[in-house]
Structure 1
Amino acid sequence: MPENANTTPEANQPGPLIIGISSRALFDLDASHRVFEKEGLARYMAYQREHENEILGKGVAFHLAEKLLGLNDDGMDHPGVEVVLMSRNSADSGLRIFNSIEHYGLDIQRAVFTNGASPADYIEPSGAQLFLSANDDDVRRVLMAGYAAATILPSAIRENRSSQLRLAFDGDAVIFSDEAERIYKEHGLEAFSDSEKRAAMNPLAAGPFKPVLEGIQRIQSAYPMEENPIRTALITARSAPAHKRVIMTLRAWGIRVDEAMFLGGREKAPYLRSFGADIFFDDQTVHCSLASREVATGHVPHGVANEPSSDVSEGKE
């Protein structure tokens, strides 16, 4: 055994839930981005230096990050949350971002500045289980590498003033694999329903967000169920009889969701508004577009609905 091996019980404890967030998801960088698009990188870097003492406005994912980090301050014995800034800025132009982080009192200590390169290459060494970014190409690269990721969509920033963190997830191609969605695409709704009914007792394979749910549940388990600072919801267009396989899969995984809504194809946005989601993750652009009018939304460009030949944008999920 190596001399420096840590054999204490703490060494076997799971680490914190680590979330990588890009600067454009965390802060409102629209004006800066327009400078980059119109005048190029050199002018953008100069612009950021010129304005580095001007505090950036809050971005779509700001309140999510704030609530996640707030879980570390309650004195409870849980793994905690770490947010890592992952930015295409350089360290020099990124000074404005860190000034803004300090202004708002966000406990973000680690950062990766790539000076125009994709931060996707640094997801594994950062230990992040989830990556949130406004750059769809970076998100797709992270998903292809086997990690959860979502493209944060432009949205009116509506702060959920409840202190409780409320997270909502779609099912197929997000929490679960897209295996059932593929049957729907290739053979239609009736074949999908029949297949799911026959396979009701066979757990679905994991989707990219299963590890995220597991990390959330490790934090939730430190609190009484009735007084929990985190509440989760599964909001899916599935309906009976396709609901049973979802329930049995979550049971087999040992994962609970606090609320589950099987909507049978009804629009999800009103339910998200009633749930008060701080963020919603879905793989289909049509649902994300509608949801983003109500709540912060992350598009998960994963699975059959996001393949070039896909025509299921108005489909089951």
Structure 2
Amino acid sequence: MSHSDLLNRFPRVRLMRGPTPIQRLDRLERVLGERRRGVSIWAKRDDLMELGGGGNKLRKLEFLIGQAQSQGCDTVVVTGGLQSNFARLAAAACARTGLGCEVVLTQMVPRETEIYRANGNVLLDRLFGARVHILKAGDDAGEFAFQRAAEIAASGGKAFVGTLGGSTPVGALGYVDCAFEIAAQSTEIGTFDQVVIPNGSGGMHAGLVAGAAVGGKDLSQIRAYTVLSPADVCVAATVDKVNAVFELLGKEDRVQAEDLTISGTQLGGGYGMPTSRLVEAVRIVGRSEGLLIDPVYGGKAFAGLLSDIENEVIAPGSNVLFVMTGGSPGLYAYADALNSN
């Protein structure tokens, strides 16, 4: 069975146009100078998508919206943190496909500034027409979402509930497809020794690992930096997600903790909490390449990439691909942190 046949078995709504490009960050390489240890740094531009400001969650939403439509749903209810990229893109995808959308946002980050509460992704959620529910700290977003689904059903509708980050096995299929895409692009560019990503809710990492395994690739080349939970918790959760994707695909492959490479060095004070290394990473990419890396996911992962290159955790002379997951609207909610110093 071909790679396309493997995924064509699942309902899908196209929300992005073709493969996202890969570009070399040669200007950044020159700015880093000896710090880059001869490493070639490339970016997979998953921020370059037409819909909703772009970002990696659209890959998941192609399959999740497909699943919702196949079940006859007329509304999508999703959960996330206050500045959730997944919620923003779910709202945009629902606008594009004519579905109703409700986003259930929780206070996952201890930031109480007005700019954080009303700007960035929250602003865009409303702009795209979603009904926004902002819960108090400690409230159960999942319980609220299923309660809303029941209320929608009672009024004659049918709701699909999308969990945190869209990181279900079905959602992860979007990054199985991305793994196939990277493999195809590598035949023209050259093989990447490392593929570097952030790991939040784990769906992207799970899909890339499952796709790499199906394609016969070395799983150790995928290097993640956790931005949500401690490394041991992140590893365990991602192992479960990878194996669930294998089951969905009908594959007998399985992974264990030692098969995954996940670093906890960039987590800092926790999810959504800025670090000095994150700010430095966002600035150096902005000032050398004119590119925007988000302050929650990509910023911490790129900070880890720079640190591991300089400390030779990533081998000198390697060919490294950084997956730019998007999320740049979140920068506006972190203006106070990014403007400091």
Same fold, TM-score > 0.5, yes or no: no
Structure having the higher helix fraction is 2
Is the radius of gyration larger for structure 1 or structure 2? 1
The alignment's TM-score, normalised by the length of structure 2, stands at 0.30
The alignment's TM-score, normalised by the length of structure 1, stands at 0.32
